[in-house]
Amino acid sequence: MIEIIPAIDIIDGKCVRLSQGDYNQKKIYNENPLEVAKMFEDHGIHRLHLVDLDGAKASHIVNHKVLEQIATRTALAVDFGGGLKTDSDVYIAFECGAQMITGGSIAVKNPDVFTSWIKTFGPEKIILGADVKDKMIAVNGWQEETKVELFDFVKGYMNKSLNKVICTDISKDGMLQGPAIGLYKEMLDRFPYLYLIASGGVSSLDDIIALEEADVPAVIFGKAIYEGRISMKDLKRFL
C-alpha cells in the first residue's frame, strides 16, 4: 500500500502552492496551516510534508513556529524541509517537533555537513531531497541547476546508509499533469531497496493508483487536494 503524504508549503505563515517552484506563481490556499493540518488528521492522514518556502529562499529556517504549532497540536508525523543549512537549523526543526528533516541543496553543496546529520541523528530521521530537471539536480528552491546527476547523487548517499529519498520532477510540480512515473520506475530498477517518495504532478486519484502499481512506496501531493481534483474521501482506500 502506497504511503499518502499531503504537503503544506509555507510562505509568510500561510499555506500556498507554487507552480514549477516559481515564487511569482504563488497561490494562497489557507491563511492558517494548522487548520489544514488538522483537516488532514481528521481524515485519517498520519504523515505530513511541511516545506518552509521562505526558508528555502533565505537559506535558513524561517517558519519554525508553524512547524511547532502543527507538531504540538496534531499527532501528525511531520517531515520538514526548506532552508536547512546549518546544525542550528536542524536542531531548531527537531526541537519544534519535526520527526524527520529533508535536505536537498545542503546535500549537494555541503555534503560533509549533510553526512554529519545522518551520523548524528540517524538515517531514519534524514531524508534526501532530490529535485530534478532532465535527471540533473537543482538547488536553492529550484532556482539553480547543477551538474550533479540524479542517480550518482542517490547512490552516493545510499552508500552512507540513507534510504529515504523525495524525488521531485520540477517540470511536473504544481502543474497537475501527472507524475514522472517513468523516472521513478527507472530509479527503483536501479535501487530496488530505496524508499522512494514521489513528488510533483499528481493531478488525480488515477495518478496515485499508477504510482502504487509502479511499486513506488510513497507519494507527496498538495495542489490536487487544494484544487479539489482529489477528495479526502478518495484517499480512504489508501489509509
Q: Write out pLDDT tens, residues 151-184.
A: 999 999 999 999 999 999 887 766 678 999 999 9
Of the candidate ranges 85-94, 138-147, 166-175, the one whose mean pLDDT is the lowest? 138-147
Amino acid identity of 107?
A
pLDDT at 19: 74
Between 174 and 106, the higher pLDDT residue: 106
Label residue 174 exposed, middle or buried (CB < 10 Å: 0-12, 13-18, 19+). buried
DSSP character for 59? Answer: T
Alpha-carbon distance 166 to 156, whole Å?
Answer: 15
Find the mean pLDDT for residues 87-97.
98
Q: CATH no. for residue 132?
A: 3.20.20.70
| Gap between the Cα atoms of 98 and 71, Å rounded | 7
- Mean pLDDT, the chain, whole residue set: 94
Rounded distance, CA 103 to CA 16, Å? Answer: 20
The residue among 176 and 14 whose pLDDT is bigger is 14
Q: Average pLDDT in the 57-68 region?
A: 95
- Lowest-pLDDT range of 133-137, 142-146, 207-211: 142-146
Residue 173 DSSP class: T
- Whether residue 41 is predicted with pLDDT greater than 70 in this model: the reply is yes
User: How far is 102 from 74, CA to CA, in rounded Å?
Assistant: 20
CB 29 within 8 A of CB 9: no
Calpha distance 57→143 (Å, rounded): 9
Catalytic residue selected from 89, 131, 169, 207: 131
Residue percentage of the chain with pLDDT more than 90: 84
| Residue 138 reports pLDDT greater than 70 | yes
Contact 23, 238 (CB under 8 A): no
In angstroms, the CA 51 to CA 210 distance is 25
**Residue 66 and residue 50 in contact, taking contact as beta carbons nearer than 8 Å:** yes
User: DSSP of 22-33, one letter per residue?
Assistant: EEEEEEEEES-H
Report the largest interatomic distance among the alpha carbons of the chain, rounded to a whole angstrom: 44
What integer is the mean pLDDT of 130-138? 91
The string of DSSP codes covering 186-203 is: HHHHH-TT-EEEEES---
Report pTM. Answer: 0.94
CA distance 24 to 205: 28
Q: What is the mean pLDDT of residues 204-233?
A: 96
Is 234 labeled as catalytic in the residue annotation? Answer: no
Q: The domain containing residue 166 runs over which residues?
A: 3-238
Number of domains, the chain:
1
Known catalytic residue: 9? yes
Please give the single-letter amino acid code of residue 114: F
Answer yes or no: are the C-beta atoms of 57 and 23 closer than 8 Å: yes
Decide: helix, strand or coil at residue 147. strand
pLDDT at residue number 173: 66
What is the per-residue pLDDT for 56?
Answer: 87
Catalytic residue among 9, 79, 169, 207: 9
Q: How confident is the model at residue 140 (pLDDT cuts 50, 70, 90)?
A: low
Residue 2, all three cell numbers: 502506497
Q: Which three cell numbers stand for residue 88?
A: 542550528
Q: Please enumerate in sequence order all residues whose Cβ is within 8 A of that of 159, keeping only pairs 6 or more positions apart, or say none.
A: none
